[in-house]
Structure 1
Amino acid sequence: MINITRLWTGQAQPADNLRYGQGHGSAANSRARKPIVVWNITRTCNLRCVHCYSDSMAQQYPGELKWDQMQDVVKDLADYQVPSLLLSGGEPLIHPRFFELVDYATELGLKLTISTNGTLITPEKAARLKEANVAYVGISLDGIGAIHDEFRGKKGAFDAAVKGFRNCEDVGQKTGLRMTLTRHNVANIERILDFIEEQGIQRTCFYHLVPAGRGSELQVLDPAESRHAIDTIIKRVEYWQATNQNREVLTVTQPADGAYLLHRMEQENHPNLKQARQLLKWNGGGANSSGRAVSNIDTQGNVHPDQFWQDVQLGNVKKMPFSSIWDGKNPLSAPILDEIRSIGDLSTEQRQTLMHGRCASCKWFSTCGGGFRTRAAFANGDLWGSDPACYLTDEEIGAEVANMEKEF
């Protein structure tokens, strides 16, 4: 994640210890972090979103974890001391034992986040989430009104999601908005930011599209669209700071956003440039993300480097605890995990000599880490290709200079 509010304004944010090594509970370095675990507890969903990486529908799927297996997973994650557990789906609230799972996880001390479409959050369910000490509820919106309904495949989905958000707000449950940037909504991003302000939403995560599942049918934004989105977000973050509106804005699945922020800061002689550069370098971007700081358990119990990288299976929690799998004790997947992590374990210079494409000569490589590695692997068929969604120009990444030096 790139915390635009933190980097651009310098204002401290709740998870600085995880992302940038700042504050209480920080890891010694970014490679030493335990993973945030994204757990898809069910594939069943009441909507049919066009970008769904799990290709979920309103039906039952065989092979999902039984209750005793789910309890074992929670106990293991608590003992392993993961910094955060994110329950996702499908639609997690559909799971028949959802609230039992929530209660059990929070009782064992896990910091719990819920990723939901929001349509099933009644006032009673919002109150239960609050009572269970859920740290955060992220509700997905992908446009305003009919745009969101089209994206989610159901008329009325927008109004139902907004009601879910308000129900959480009414009981004091910390809640925010999650949005995937696509061509369905990026042209209307000003209106989306207006909505965030009008509704008093305090935290927003903008995801860059990862073409997986049904999302593989969508096109990643072109460079001009990506730049427009990030420039518009930065401008609004500046305004919110100037008007004393405390609002956290993050972008997800695109470490190149950090490089772009640094580029703009250099051009504008930004007062937070030095600090932003230090924070992003500590984080490491894509080099220390999937397979290290982020992990996934799918509905069948399979463990993956992240929730999008479903074709790489590291083990299964029905057969071996997540902690053992993540520590490389599964002999069948340990080489794969070692290869993924080698992107971060090698020095910056060593990593970059192995890269091909634009990342091989990018001057931002030490802070970006080569973009989102999962998307790069999809596009290139190997771990060492460049992220096709990078939107910086050759001049901005220093590629033109590097190419000229090669010619001479």
Structure 2
Amino acid sequence: MTDTPFPPRSRLVRTPRHAVAHRPFLVIWETTRACPLACLHCRAEANLLRSPHELDGAQARDLMDQIAAFGRPYPLFVMTGGDPFQRPDLTELVAYGTSLGLRVAVSPSGTPTLTRQNLTEVRDAGAVALSLSVDGSTAARHDTFRGVDGVFDLTLDGWRTARELGLKVQINTTVSRHSLHDLADIAALVRREKAMLWSGFLLVPTGRGAELDSLTPDEMEDVLHFLYDCGAVMATKTTEGHHFRRIVLQRAALAERGEEPRTGPLHARLTARAAALGLFEGERRAVRRPPMDVSSGRGFVFVSHTGEVTPSGFLPMSADNTKRRPLKDIYRTSPLFLSLRDPSLLRGKCGACDYKTVCGGSRSRAYAVTGDPLAADPWCAYQPNTLPEEQPCAQ
């Protein structure tokens, strides 16, 4: 037992600098649904052609004006898709957002458009970061998931080029039955290629993802513990894995007591494979990257290719449209967003959970499985108040 006091929650889990009821930390815009890939999990069910109803250039610039209207510090603005490079005006839009003072990131697909020229142009236009998806440690595994041969090599080349150009690179990995036993190898790849951040996306069964086999809650728990372990040697986070924040608090409490977490066989297998790969050897991070306390509608907002405003791209309930009503008003006053920011409205075990104010479960997953965005996250293994020895120390 160490005499060092338990770190305050504010150091273990970050909160945005401004109240999330007032402004989001992150705005994601689906620039287009056009994409030549056929990814097994795609929430957008992307296709080859751009929609005639997607926001045109003038409407896209108006959207960025609406984001800037939240005031400084502006939300981080991510242009995703589909494949954003399917828009011929992408570079112009990045430059416009940058001119407003927005921090702009781009999330392209691993397609033939992921070229040095295109990456150079978006960097020169002001983009500060790039996020790419890696769902397998080898070409065979990744390309099978993405539905097109050659995607792995294109992604790896684009990743290396982006780093050479000075762009920060985040790597996203969909945690599904397909990638489950490859996660340690993917982690080793991410560390070797020096990504800024590795994000484990815990599958939401929506779009094409509804056809994929889900993990059990216990497997999800083991994956979250493995991501926590990886955080000692590289920066890690989760998408739609809000219970990672609970794991961080519990693991810190256990470490302060000199105890180990209780994990399952999947965690043991992933840890053994990681050890065999030397993942945890060498330089360790001086400070862990604390997860950010944001979730659907609470610090996070998604704008579709047609301007529909939803709490998340994985929670397709529209609160309104930016062509009809300013994003600031939608985010601050819509009943849907207000309900998602009130943890007292959560139902089931999420409503009873001692971590509901810092976790709250995936509202997207609750909606996808039950049709109720305030229902309990069906893929969370934690039973409220049943593991007192793993509760945080007094803060």
- Under a length normalisation based on structure 1, what TM-score does the superposition of the two structures give? 0.78
Equivalent residue number for residue 261 of structure 2:
none
Q: 1:257 aligns with which of 244, 268, 278?
A: 244
After TM superposition, list the pairs within 5 Å mapping 1:229-378 onto structure 2. 229-238=223-232, 240=233, 247-269=234-256, 285=293, 289-310=295-316, 312-328=317-333, 334-341=334-341, 343-344=342-343, 351=344, 355-369=346-360, 371-378=361-368
Structure 1 position 35, deviation (Å):
4.4
Residue 134 of structure 1 corresponds to: 127
Q: Distance in 2 between matches of 1:220 and 1:177?
A: 21
Structure 1 or 2: larger helix share?
A: 1
Give the counterpart letter for 1:299 in structure 2: H
Residue 87 of structure 1 corresponds to: 79
Residue identity opposite 1:48 in structure 2: A
Amino acid across the alignment from 1:297: V
Give the C-alpha shift of residue 355 in structure 1. Answer: 4.2
**Which of 102, 107, 114 is 2:106 aligned to?**
114
Q: How much has 1:99 moved relative to structure 2?
A: 0.8
What is the one-letter code of the residue matched to 1:319? R
Q: C-alpha distance in 1, partners of 2:25/2:118?
A: 28
C-alpha contact 1:47 1:153 (8 A) present in aligned 2: yes
Equivalent position to 1:34, from 15, 19, 24 = 24
The answer to whether residue 110 in structure 2 is matched with residue 123 in structure 1 is no
Tell me by how many angstroms 1:220 deviates. Answer: 2.8
**Residue among 189, 206, 218 paired with 2:200:** 206
- 1:373/1:216 Cα in 2 relative to 1: closer, same or farther (>3 Å)? same
Q: Deviations over 1:129-159 (max 9, x none)?
A: 2212212100111112211101100011100
Deviation at 1:399, TM superposition (A): 4.6
Give distance in 1, aligned partners of 2:211 and 2:366: 17
Q: Deviations over 1:9-49 (max 9, x none)?
A: x9x89xx8xx425xxxx22x444443421100101002111
Give the C-alpha shift of residue 381 in structure 1: 2.8
Letter of the 1:110 counterpart: L
Q: How far does the alpha carbon of each residue in 1:246-272 deviate from its partner, in whole angstroms, 9 at most, with x for none?
A: x3211121211111232233333269x
SS at match of 2:60: helix
Output the CA distance in 1 between the equivalents of 2:357 and 2:60. 38
**CA RMSD for the aligned pairs?**
2.8
Equivalent-residue separation in structure 2 for 1:358 and 1:338 (angstroms)? 20
Q: Which amino acid aligns with 2:385?
A: G
1:389 maps onto 2:384 in alignment:
no
Q: How far does residue 126 in structure 1 lie from its aligned partner after superposition?
A: 1.9
**Distance change >3 Å, CA 300–CA 270, structure 1 → 2:** farther
The residue number in structure 2 matching 1:51 is 41
The size of the alignment, in residue pairs, is: 348
Unaligned runs of 5+ in 2: 1-5, 259-286, 389-395
**Paired residue secondary structure (2:28):** strand
Counterpart CA distance in 2 for 1:206 and 1:95 is: 27
1:20 matched to 2:26: no
Is 1:151 the equivalent of 2:141? no
Choose the corresponding residue for 1:102, options 83, 94, 99.
Answer: 94
User: Structure 1 regions of 5+ residues with no counterpart?
Assistant: 1-6, 241-246, 329-333, 345-350, 402-408
Q: Which whole-Å CA distance do the structure 1 matches of 2:370 and 2:39 have between them?
A: 26
Alpha-carbon distance in 2 for matches of 1:377, 1:175: 30
Percent identical pairs in the alignment equals: 28
